[in-house]
Amino acid sequence: MSDTVIPMSALLQTDLGSLPLLARGKVRDIYALGDDQLLFIATDRLSAFDHVLATGIPDKGRILTQLSLFWFDFLKDLVPNHLVTADITSYPAHLQPFAAQLEGRSMIVKRAQMFPVECVVRGYISGSGWKDYRATGSICGIPLAAGLRESDQLPQPIFTPAAKINTGGHDENISFDTMVAHIGAESAEALRTLTLDIYAKASAHAATKGLILADTKFEFGLIDGVITLADEVLTPDSSRYWPAASYHPGGAQPSFDKQFVRDYLESIHWNKQAPAPALPEEVAIRTREKYLEAFYLITGRTSLFA
């Protein structure tokens, strides 16, 4: 299949018969595979302003999965990950009838005891960090110099964790001391160091591809007592990538994500309450193109379907 040919429809929800469904998130459907493994499937669902939209983005789940697989491999010497396999020909026999839903967008992973925090690292001041800085002169309690502009590079990357402690779809920014109180000093220190190390390696790679990795977030868990990288990693859904060639601090930057979707939803003055609206075809197409562009640049591949 050519990447330039838009499939007729997006996969918005999976159905794997009697296989136990553990969770249906904004993007991923997670199924149980025995006591020690999970099946992750990235659908083409798209969320904006904490609502899943009526329109999906064809191939988005494949793009996210293939990017995560690239980064898991790229980072494997720095941190272990939870991947078992993404080769559907090696999946258990009872999954083979569902190959059309699994191909390119799924992976079997080890179950992990997840830390209840998102490990956020910011190399540039943007998004909620910019809002926090304008209001307090700090980001998540970390004081910064006066006079910074939106999208300025920070003197050094900062670690700003968020706690997964509510049910409303929002993660709550917390201080490092609060993180320590949640998970203990040893684990908190280890996650902070690992997050900053991964960011350094990933942002250096992105720079060679003409990209700025402005910020990103990771999730970690314990597998056999070892801190392990889990969930998705360094995708446009979890990271803010900017084209380096057009970088100009002092305002928002173009990014490789759902910017077109947010802009459209703002233009129609949606009240950000359910039900979320559908998207015009041209907005969905342009959004797909931005995700694909990020994939091509980061991985160096020429086709999603290779």
Delineate the domains of the chain, giving CATH numbers in brackets. Answer: 14-111 (3.30.200.20), 114-246 (3.30.470.20)
Query: Taking residues 169-194, what's their average pLDDT?
Result: 91
Q: State the pLDDT at residue 305.
A: 78
Beta strand 162-163 pairing with 172-173: antiparallel
Query: Is the pLDDT score of 5 beyond 50?
Result: no
Band of residue 73 on the pLDDT scale cut at 50, 70, 90: very high
Query: Is the pLDDT score of 166 beyond 70?
Result: no
pLDDT over 90 percentage in the chain: 82
Query: pTM for this structure?
Result: 0.93
Query: Is the pLDDT score of 295 beyond 70?
Result: yes
Distance from C-alpha of 24 to C-alpha of 10, rounded to nearest angstrom: 16
Q: State the pLDDT at residue 1.
A: 43
Query: Is the pLDDT score of 49 beyond 90?
Result: no
Band of residue 169 on the pLDDT scale cut at 50, 70, 90: low
Q: State the pLDDT at residue 306.
A: 66
Query: Taking residues 35-56, what's their average pLDDT?
Result: 93
Mean pLDDT, the chain, whole residue set: 93
Q: State the pLDDT at residue 116.
A: 95
Band of residue 212 on the pLDDT scale cut at 50, 70, 90: very high
Query: Taking residues 88-115, what's their average pLDDT?
Result: 97
Q: State the pLDDT at residue 2.
A: 46
Query: Taking residues 202-218, what's their average pLDDT?
Result: 98
Q: State the pLDDT at residue 172.
A: 84
The alpha carbons of the chain give a radius of gyration, in whole angstroms, of 19
